[in-house]
Chain A
Amino acid sequence: MSEKPQVKSSPSFFNNPRNRSIIYQLLLLFGLGYFFYSIISNTLANMEARGIQSGYDFLFNTAGFDILMSLIPYDATNTYGRTFIVGLLNTVLVSIIGIILSTMVGFIMGVAHFSHNLLIRKLATAYVETFRNIPLLLQIFFWYFAVLAALPSARQSMSLGEVIFLNVRGLYFPGLTPEGGASVVYAAIAAAIIGIFVLKRWAKKRQDDTGQQFPVLWVSLGMLFGLPLLALIVMGFPFAWDIPYLKGFNFRGGITVIPELMALALALTVYTGAFIAEAVRAGIQAVPHGQTEAARSIGLKEGKIMKLIIVPQAMRVIVPLLNSEYQSLVKNSTLATAIGYPDLFTVFVGTTLNQTGQAIEIVFMTMAVYFVVNMTISFLMNRLNSSVALTER
């Protein structure tokens, strides 16, 4: 006779904790999906009922308005979609300038806090306390309507050697128009950059093997300037100067930095710089003093102590703080709209939204942009963070 083997009865399907949790997750997902689906479809139905246009077709329509500054060719005959790109690039530009300059200012001011010179120390404190505590919008207005607006008119510009001009309309400096042979110069620049990387790796390897140091910095600088210079001389300076000149009301030619960009970049730099200075100070303070003493006792020079002992350890504290400062800077750049710098917010949420009336689509696109930009910053900073993080051996 055959007897079925006794199976140990397993808990019923619904009592299995794994299955349960999967079911709950699915239910939640379904609920959320339904929630958003009904909000979106209801919004669309209501917009339709009220005669409000919706959809993304407007991106292909002619914009019909001009934009003060654009990094890509743009005029009023281009599309609304292009106004999005123009605004986006202007936002990226002012953010990059702001991030680079505020980092420089912040590190200088943060380190200045530990200076042996009382005046420098006080100055650093005064800087941080002043600019951290004044609302950013007020600072933007200050630079724009008080400082830059006080510059002379175009006809009475200040000038540097009659090639660089500064007036209430902006900063004008000569541009370079490439001519035949310019590509050789570009190639030389690229070669120099690649050369520097190779040199660095070689020098590190040499130091690891033999203990001998190589003056990487000076040789690199020499390459960076020397190679392009050589190319310039060989090719007989294959560029034409495009020097700004006054015609009618304004300067033409050359490169113009509009005062709106100057004011916004300045305000963002000075404001964010104050926060970064605090982050740097906190980072340095977090390194125990014993580290410095130990470094001194083995005979390292002060500069080397900073570079090899303090900064690498301080960075572990500083980098996460920098991440959030950079993200705030990008978000704060939307205050551009107060002085008319044509960033994404001014151009797209400002003018484009008004001309098309498609508020929901435009605000959605813009939010997505700031989200993506800040996620990118986060990603890069997290990578930097893991490269400075403590590696246990």
Chain B
Amino acid sequence: MKRLTSVIATGLALGLSFGAQAGTLEDVQKRGSVSCGVSTGLAGFSQKDENGTWSGLDVDVCRSVAAAVLGDASKVQYKPLTAKERFTALQSGEIDILSRNTTWTHTRDTSLGLNFAGVNYYDGQGFMVSKDLGVSSALDLDGAAVCIQAGTTTELNLADYFRANGITYNAITFDTSDQTRAGFESGRCDVLTSDQSQLYALRIGLKDPSSAMVLPEVISKEPLGPVVRQGDDQWFNIVKWSVYAMVEAEFMGINSANADQAKSQGNPGQQRLMGVDTDSGEKMGISNDWAYNIVKQVGNYGESFERNVGQGSPLKISRGLNAQWNKGGIMYSSPVR
């Protein structure tokens, strides 16, 4: 129903608004907070703890935008959204950014009136099975019942993969990740499929994580990143460069601990990123120390990764594709200059 409400809100917003849309930046500054769409709870990416504090890799994108725009990373309002609700929530203006493990695809980028502002995690779709099923490859899954979440790229990749390999399956589609997991645990399905990172996150949420395993196959490319409304280039730039700033800071060796030092005595590139002798912020309508605030308050990309999904977290995901380009990965920031 929440979804229907936001579809109707989108309809009304589109039907009743005349003339150009107001700038998101002004709205955010007036409101004093960034409204950010996140998942309903996915370990490592966006998750609420018992005190009601959100954390995760996707949450850090929201926080870095708040740090850049408002100078305070904590000025974020989180809106938990299921996969099905997320795009209408953004279109209707309910949120300013969607940062909810969302795959950048051509259709989404070109037909929803939305823009992807970068990639904060390179992922791929995988399969999780119960160990006592005794399968070691996805190709052994002929006839299996597969639990998936509605409104995801997962639904489409799954159909492609099974058809390409000439094997059959039954897709059981749920609305939220909790229901999907419950379906898997009750034995309604043999397999749970999703982006691999999310499989690790779902696995540690099982009653007995060691009873399940993730199969080696990765069947798709899933570049996950934040999304904004199309047509507000200023806001698009701010979000895009907030993500880049974290990656660039890691590349330059600046982190939350040495940000002050980099600002006062770093090399020219470091000082520029930290807002010394530059109008990089002004060009986007925000203060020039925007990137300094991000790194100081949220950290660089590597710190955020390790804290949320890497070695400092229960997920223990290795950097892999998400390492810097000069360290064997493909994380690469355009230069901030």
Residues of A at the B interface (CB closer than 8 Å) are 39-40, 42-43, 46-47, 49-53, 64-68, 76-77, 145, 149-150, 153, 168-169, 247-250, 252, 259-260, 337-340, 342, 346, 349-351, 353-357, 359-360, 363
Residues of chain B within 8 A (CB-CB) of A168 are: 186-188
- From A65, A77, A250, B145 is in contact (CB under 8 Å) with A250
**Is the Cβ of B159 less than 8 Å from the Cβ of A65?**
yes
User: Is B10 located at the chain interface by the 8 A CB criterion?
Assistant: yes
Most buried by B among A47, A52, A169, A353: A52
Residue-wise interface mask of B (134-175) relative to A, using a CB-CB cutoff of 8 A (1 in contact, 0 not): 000000011111000011100110111001000001111111
Residues of chain A within 8 A (CB-CB) of B151 are: 350-351, 353-355
Looking at the complex, which of B66-74, B81-89, B205-213, B262-270 is the stretch in contact with chain A?
B81-89
> Which range contains the number of B residues in contact with the other chain?
35 or more
CB contacts between A and B, total, < 8 Å:
150
Residues of chain B within 8 A (CB-CB) of A52 are: 14, 91, 111-113
Residues of chain A within 8 A (CB-CB) of B108 are: 357
A260 to B186 CA separation, bound complex (whole angstroms) = 13
User: Is B215 located at the chain interface by the 8 A CB criterion?
Assistant: no
Assess A49 versus B231: contact at CB under 8 Å? Given A39-B16, A259-B188, A353-B84. Answer: yes
User: Is B7 located at the chain interface by the 8 A CB criterion?
Assistant: yes
User: Is B229 located at the chain interface by the 8 A CB criterion?
Assistant: yes
**Is the Cβ of B188 less than 8 Å from the Cβ of A65?**
no
A252 to B142 CA separation, bound complex (whole angstroms) = 12
Shortest B322–chain A CB gap in Å is 26
**Is the Cβ of A351 less than 8 Å from the Cβ of B187?**
no
Shortest B162–chain A CB gap in Å is 8
User: Is B4 located at the chain interface by the 8 A CB criterion?
Assistant: yes
A153 to B159 CA separation, bound complex (whole angstroms) = 25
**Is the Cβ of B143 less than 8 Å from the Cβ of A252?**
yes
Residue-wise interface mask of B (97-128) relative to A, using a CB-CB cutoff of 8 A (1 in contact, 0 not): 00000000001101111000000000000000
- From B15, B155, B179, A65 is in contact (CB under 8 Å) with B155
User: Is B17 located at the chain interface by the 8 A CB criterion?
Assistant: yes
Name the CB-closest residue of B to A256.
B170
Q: Which 10 A-B pairs have the closest CB atoms?
A: A354-B151, A149-B186, A52-B113, A76-B159, A53-B111, A50-B113, A357-B112, A43-B15, A46-B14, A248-B143
Residue-wise interface mask of B (1-39) relative to A, using a CB-CB cutoff of 8 A (1 in contact, 0 not): 001100110110011111001000000000000000000
Shortest B336–chain A CB gap in Å is 28
Shortest A377–chain B CB gap in Å is 22
User: Is B284 located at the chain interface by the 8 A CB criterion?
Assistant: no
| Residues 39-73 (chain B) with a chain A CB within 8 angstroms | none
| Residues 199-250 (chain B) with a chain A CB within 8 angstroms | 229-231
Name the CB-closest residue of B to A247.
B143
Residues of chain B within 8 A (CB-CB) of A260 are: 172
Residues of chain A within 8 A (CB-CB) of B174 are: 339-340
A247 to B143 CA separation, bound complex (whole angstroms) = 8
- From A40, A337, A359, B88 is in contact (CB under 8 Å) with A359
Assess A250 versus B143: contact at CB under 8 Å? Given A65-B159, A360-B11. Answer: yes
User: Is B182 located at the chain interface by the 8 A CB criterion?
Assistant: yes
Question: What are 11 A-B contacts with C-beta separation under 8 Å?
Answer: A42-B18, A52-B91, A65-B155, A145-B182, A149-B188, A168-B187, A339-B174, A354-B152, A357-B108, A360-B7, A363-B8
Residues of chain A within 8 A (CB-CB) of B145 are: 169, 249-250
**Is the Cβ of B87 less than 8 Å from the Cβ of A249?**
no
Residues of chain B within 8 A (CB-CB) of A353 are: 7, 84, 151
Shortest A195–chain B CB gap in Å is 42
Shortest B11–chain A CB gap in Å is 6
User: Is B195 located at the chain interface by the 8 A CB criterion?
Assistant: no
Assess A42 versus B112: contact at CB under 8 Å? Given A76-B159, A149-B186, A340-B173. Answer: no
**Is the Cβ of B144 less than 8 Å from the Cβ of A250?**
yes
Shortest A63–chain B CB gap in Å is 9
Assess A43 versus B175: contact at CB under 8 Å? Given A65-B156, A259-B188. Answer: no
- From A49, A338, A363, B4 is in contact (CB under 8 Å) with A363
**Is the Cβ of B15 less than 8 Å from the Cβ of A39?**
yes
Residues of chain A within 8 A (CB-CB) of B170 are: 66, 68, 250
User: Is B289 located at the chain interface by the 8 A CB criterion?
Assistant: no
**Is the Cβ of A68 less than 8 Å from the Cβ of B15?**
no
Residues of chain B within 8 A (CB-CB) of A67 are: 171
A252 to B113 CA separation, bound complex (whole angstroms) = 44
Residues of chain B within 8 A (CB-CB) of A338 are: 175, 179
A339 to B84 CA separation, bound complex (whole angstroms) = 14
Most buried by B among A46, A66, A67: A66
Name the CB-closest residue of A to B147.
A340
Shortest A341–chain B CB gap in Å is 9
**Is the Cβ of A66 less than 8 Å from the Cβ of B159?**
yes
Residues of chain B within 8 A (CB-CB) of A249 are: 133, 141, 143-145, 190
Residues of chain B within 8 A (CB-CB) of A248 are: 142-144
Residues of chain A within 8 A (CB-CB) of B16 are: 39, 42
- From A42, A169, A252, B188 is in contact (CB under 8 Å) with A169
Name the CB-closest residue of B to A67.
B171
